[in-house]
Amino acid sequence: MHVSGGRKACVSFISRFLLFFSLQTFEKLLIANRGEIACRVIKTCKKMGIRTVAIHSDVDANAVHVKMADEAVCVGPAPTSKSYLNMDAIMEVIKKTRAQAVTDFYFCFLKLYLHCLLQASEGVTFIGPDTHAIQAMGDKIESKLLAKNAKVNTIPGFDGVVKDADEAVRIAREIGYPVMIKASAGGGGKGMRIAWDDEETREGFRFSSQEAASSFGDDRLLIEKFIDNPRHIEIQVLADKHGNALWLNERECSIQRRNQKVVEEAPSTFLDPETRRAMGEQAVALAKAVKYSSAGTVEFLVDSSKNFYFLEMNTRLQVEHPVTECITGLDLVQEMIRVAKGYPLRHKQADIPINGWAVECRVYAEDPYKSFGLPSIGKLSQYQEPLHVPSVRVDSGIQQGSDISIYYDPMISKLITYGSNRAEALKRMEEALDNYVIRGVAHNISLLREVIVHPRFVQGDISTKFLPEVYPDGFKGHKLTDLERRELLATAASLYVAEQLRSQRFLGTARIPVAKSKRSSWELSVRLGDGIYPVAVSKDGSSFSVEVDGMKLNVTSEWNLASPLLSVTVDGTQRTIQRLSRNASGDTNIQFLGTVYKLQILTKVAAELSKYMPEKAAEDTSSILRSPMPGAVVAVSVKPGDTVSEGQEICVIEAMKMQNSMIAAKTGKVKAVHCKAGDTVGEGDLLVELE
């Protein structure tokens, strides 16, 4: 976790930790996790004077959390089942390092806790709730029954385990379409499918059960009524071992793709004080019903009339917990450690404030132009967090040079901004996203930026269907207005000229001091998308005067071409851009307003000659199937000679524990199959050819 300047309650925990130093907690804590959450926990432990032990897989030997911890031990190879979820290896590390406490925060609480019970005689404490609460709330079927008994509003549905696809269809018909099919032991959007008819129910049952078995080792499914167009709002709870429990206000988590959260904020624009209190009281009632003791989250679906329904309870620290910390001033990791040690809560419900507004964007190594985000892998060749922006917090577990692999979640970081009000928090988020440098992998900065500036989001008019409603044909990036297009063209042309001028100098001196003339104007041709635009540039002191579409724009900057970030002012409007690449053919990629635009900048003469250059013919993608992402082949449904119909499933690719059905683009006969179940494939790899 990294923080920049701003509100003290959000970005500095020092004063609160000074109060805690006098309390005895643990001397050493083992963190059975990786990435940003492991780093987040280590930060708090350091301030509390607790030594930390990190575990890691062999491919994570140089990971940031390994470097931050006081001790680090390898527990196995890359797959999580053989390392981070290898309970026998973890228990050996606990014994070897003599850790007094252990936690995983995001991973499989139950198994780890049960193993810790075996070590109770040696004084090992688990940071988190007890076995009963984990087991009860971790099973969606049992948790729903408990919620009903605790007088918590629940969604209509089938409360048992669905045995097979035929039973799933029968139950779905009884409930009435649409229905949600989801893993009983699931979470994080995995093992979940929405079905609108019998065929989708059968397909959803198959994929959900496979994903559930892969992710959680439990393929049991349940079916319930799908609440169409709801908001996803959750309540943070905190409880101790003495019967005390608090609700720490809500988090709005409605911006999602594939049932996984993308943007979160606290508080919600939608809730009034009465609804907030009612949701909070029901969340606390459920926590007390299962004798919960730690930080946890009760998730609700809320309809347009503010009716709310229990969705699930997560018995762990949520990814989006920083926004709650920002508006309440509490450090939830610290509170969890205190509760585990047996201390009572230090606060009453009346003490919990809503101070200001916080927004969190999940920054992923994903291509947002493919289904709102398919995983990208690679090495971070350049990485720079926007910590110079006021009131910014970045929770990350990577650094420049880190590898994003197929084995783990593709999250790069959690980017959090705080403001005295929502408008201020969103403005800072916009600035932070523009100043975030990520090179070497695809990322979703463009999508995040478009979401937070969209008029519907700014007005608070959102639901879990926001992305498919706003982008029904998929995300295409920012659509430039005429003014923005001129700004981009003027900026790109000025950047080109600035570089030409720099190339004429050597260590600050002209390469040929005896040169007689000094060029002051350039006629360029700039290609952007399908358009070609004549652009005239003239140097005017330290700035450039650029004519585009018959209009003159003044472009100023320090023109530090070695910096990954470039602050440019066009006619008084400041923009932060990034030039990602360029080549000798005039091609350049510029990140502008979050989206990367491909341009070609040529002199007028070069542009006239370029029309004689042959263009490479585009590949006919209708007859071939390439993998849209890196992953593992789970199943192949065809063989050479088979006839397939348009839309028919050809194979299934699993990436980051999510299964994706690959379908035929046209009807035809299979010419060749280039993969088999178990193969690891990269993005763009050829899978199947049709005749």
Q: Which residues are catalytic?
A: 312
Four-point Cα dihedral 495, 498, 499, 504, nearest 10: 170
Rounded distance between C-alpha atoms, residue 313 and residue 133, angstroms: 10
Cα distances from 55 to residues 83, 85, 86, 343, 505, in angstroms, run: 8, 11, 11, 27, 52
Rounded distance between C-alpha atoms, residue 110 and residue 128, angstroms: 10
With residue 494 as reference, give the H or E element that holds it.
helix 482-503
State the pairing for strand pair 658-663/392-396. Answer: unpaired
Taken in order 490, 492, 498, 504, is the CA torsion positive or negative? negative
Q: Reduce the DSSP state of residue 243 to 3 states and report it.
A: coil
DSSP string, 373-403: -EE--EE-SEEE--TTSTTEEEEES--TT-E
Beta-carbon neighbour count of residue 682 at 10 Å?
12
Rounded distance between C-alpha atoms, residue 411 and residue 425, angstroms: 22
Q: Which of 95, 113, 97, 117 is nearest to 105 (CA)?
A: 113
In our burial notation (b when 16+ CB lie closer than 10 A, e otherwise), range 76-90 reads: beeebeebbbbeebb
Q: Which of 579, 603, 588, 676 is nearest to 634 (CA)?
A: 676
State the pairing for strand pair 51-57/631-636. Answer: unpaired
52 DSSP β-pair partners: 29
Rounded distance between C-alpha atoms, residue 494 and residue 684, angstroms: 35
Q: Establish whether the linkage from the previous residue to 564 is cis, with ω within 30° of 0.
A: no
Say if residues 143 and 182 touch (Cβ distance below 8 Å).
no
DSSP string, 602-666: EEHHHHHHHTTS--PPPP-GGGEEE-SSSEEEEEE---TT-EE-TT-EEEEEEETTEEEEEE-SS
